[in-house]
Amino acid sequence: AQSVTQPDIHITVSEGASLELRCNYSYGATPYLFWYVQSPGQGLQLLLKYFSGDTLVQGIKGFEAEFKRSQSSFNLRKPSVHWSDAAEYFCAVEKNNDMRFGAGTRLTVKP
């Protein structure tokens, strides 16, 4: 069955530190890949997406993600985290018009 896994339920980082959120997927072929962010009580906002081509994609708010076919991964990174980045992050994959979301990773930023 197709699935999206975010192994980390909750991550805490210090402000200014680097961040990496993990995402693995299980699909027969490379799907479309997305990262979304959700602030409490709000909807989701698209951070970035991967279709094909360059495996390192840039998004909004200084985020980037790297697609690794061999590892079926699409990890989200940010070099220096700001307090305003505290939120929940969702990885999503789409194949054959079917979008699947991971369970999310909650990010806490320490001062």
Partner 1 sequence: DGGITQSPKYLFRKEGQNVTLSCEQNLNHDAMYWYRQDPGQGLRLIYYSQIVNDFQKGDIAEGYSVSREKKESFPLTVTSAQKNPTAFYLCASSPRTGGYGYTFGSGTRLTVV
Contact status: 97 vs partner 1 (CB under 8 A): yes
Asked whether the beta carbons of 95 and 27 are under 8 A apart, the reply is yes
Select the residue interacting with partner 1 from 32, 55, 80, 83 (CB under 8 A): 32
Select the residue interacting with partner 1 from 34, 67, 74, 89 (CB under 8 A): 34
**CB crowding 82-103: b at 16 or more within 10 Å, else e:** eeebbbbbbbbbebeeeebebe
Count H helices and E strands in the chain, helices first: 0, 12
Per-residue mark of binding to partner 1, 42-81 (x: CB under 8 A): xxxxx--x-x------------------------------
Asked whether the beta carbons of 40 and 105 are under 8 A apart, the reply is no
CB of 38 to partner 1, least distance (A): 8
| 15-23, 32-40, 62-70, 72-80 -> range binding partner 1 (CB under 8 A) | 32-40
